[in-house]
A and B are shown apart, each in its own frame.
Chain A
Amino acid sequence: MLSLKNVSMGYDEKALLKNVNIDFAENRIYALLGKSGSGKSTLLKGISNILPHMGEITLKDKPLNVKKQRLALVPQKNSLVKWQTVRQNILLPHKLRKEVAPQNLEELCAELGIAHLLDKYPGHLSGGEQQRAAIATALLFQPDILLLDEAFSALDAITKDEVHTAFLNAITKHKVTTVFVTHDIDEALYLAESIIILKNGNLLENMENPLFGITKQEKPLAYSKSHQEIKELI
């Protein structure tokens, strides 16, 4: 699906990511975990055409091209255009590509719990509602790949739990290949089918996650064990 071969990138000739090779399978959810400076956000910026890279990035066996292929990015915050309503924001990617938007906008927003906010401006929404709107924008676009850069980290604990659940339900229903960057091990354990660990710009581990979709409250011991194992690796 999405393939990275010998990918290196960085700022001002300082390589933050060194010869990384990763294959992301279709319709799976991946977490990119690592300490600050490990290169996880840099990797996402390279894939989403924000940073130049060396090496090869292909999507569906073709060189990645954001204008021709479909890619969506949800950053930590402030991803909505402030002077447009939530509805206009969600439809914006279709407008810019001169496409007819899918008819399921209202349904998708209901799934994410923001159907009542469609005619409001982002400035009138809470942080959690803004992130849900950003996720709705990305999902309605029907991307080949969805990238999230610490998309839940600015939310408070209760809102984060709510958005996690809404996000997981929406992603599994709409079957989107997803790569999300996080520094929260428990978040990775709950939301990701595979966990990729980066350390000092190198790929350290690409592991299956048996706790995917299971909350910490359901299996506290397993969570604790996996958390400790990952923490030691990082």
Chain B
Amino acid sequence: MAAEKTTIFSPETAARFDKLVTIYPVKRSALVPMLLYAQDDIGYISDAVVAEIAERIGITELDVRNVLSYYSMLRTKPVGKYHVQVCTNISCMLRDGYATLDQCKKKLGIGHKETTADGLFSLEEVECLGVCCWAPVVQVNYDFYDQLTPEKLDKVLDDYREGRGKETK
């Protein structure tokens, strides 16, 4: 329905949404996947994203916000180009995850849920990323860096800063 209308999403995402709303027994089941794809596309869940998704599914914006606010992985504010997520849950903590976090803070000069002035990096302390066997672990956008040592972490961040990092959204 919204395909002919103006959309804030990229053509691929818009096409994907057109399909998504048709494949569930009730339309609103498409909400969480749509929010995730929208976040990948736009970078965060803006008011405009909320409005368009609500319209596409035929629910209220309030309904969208109720779900959106439940999940910490859905963001309502923009993040840096490289979003660094540091795990400090138990396995990583035992393998000095907090030191990893501190190192990131120091190196990037930002704190939890902050973004560098140049918009290149943002940092977030997160719960378990599911890579306990190779703790400590950091996730940059969708890429994992595990069994980190201070040197390894430095290299990872430097690579990204110098434009040598993996470019995934």
- The answer on A and B forming one complex is no
